[in-house]
Amino acid sequence: MSIFKGSGVALVTPMKENGDINYDSLEKLIEAQIAGGTDALIVCGTSGEAPTLDDPEHLEAIRFAVEVTKKRIPVIAGTGSNNTAHAVMMSEESEKLGADGLLLVTPYYNKATQDGLYAHYRKIASATKLPCIIYNVPSRTGTNILPETVAKLAADQPNIAAVKEASGLISQVARLARLTEGKIDIYSGNDDQIIPICSLGGVGVISVLANVAPRETHDMVMHCLEGRYDIARALQLRALPLVEQLFIEVNPIPVKAALNMQGFNVGSPRLPLTELTAAHKESLRQAMIDFGCLEP
Torsions phi, psi of 168, nearest 5?
A: 80, 0
Torsions phi, psi of 22, nearest 5?
A: -95, 95
Q: Are 134 and 162 in contact (CB under 8 A)?
A: yes
Torsions phi, psi of 104, nearest 5?
A: -125, 100
Distance CA 140, CA 30 (A): 26
Distance CA 124, CA 126 (A): 5
* Residue length of the chain: 296
Cis amide bond preceding 272, omega within 30: yes
Within 13 Å, how many C-alpha atoms sit on residue 234's CB side? Answer: 6
Supply the DSSP symbol for 15: B
Residues annotated catalytic, as ranges:
135, 164
Distance CA 138, CA 244 (A): 19
Q: Which helix (H) or strand (E) holds 119?
A: helix 114-126
Residue 136: strand pairing partners: 165
Neighbours of 245 (CB within 10 A): 24
Q: Are 234 and 220 in contact (CB under 8 A)?
A: no
The amino acid present at 86, given as its one-letter code, is: H
Closest CA to 66 of 90, 43, 91: 43
